[in-house]
Amino acid sequence: MKFVKDEDEKRDDYIFQKDKITKKTAKFVIIALIILIIAVIASGVHFGYF
């Protein structure tokens, strides 16, 4: 099984496809996770846990 498939490959056994939608979604997920991590740290500082 291949992890990432190129756009022009003719395969059915892959997890991610290397196209615009996958790249945009990956960027969105990474940014959302970074924002959540910052929010957890900020709330910890605000409530005195750090």
Who's near 18: CB < 8 A, 6+ residues apart?
A: 4, 5, 6, 7
**CA of 40: how far to CAs of 25, 27, 33, 34, in Å?**
23, 20, 11, 10
Give the predicted TM-score (pTM) of the model. Answer: 0.69
Q: Does 6 have pLDDT greater than 90?
A: no
Mean pLDDT value across residues 11-18: 75
Maximum distance among all alpha carbons in the chain? Answer: 55
Q: Does 44 have pLDDT greater than 90?
A: yes
Q: Does 36 have pLDDT greater than 90?
A: yes
Instruction: Report H helices in the chain.
Output: 20-46
Strand partners, 18: 6
* Model pLDDT, residue 15: 73
Mean pLDDT value across residues 20-24: 89
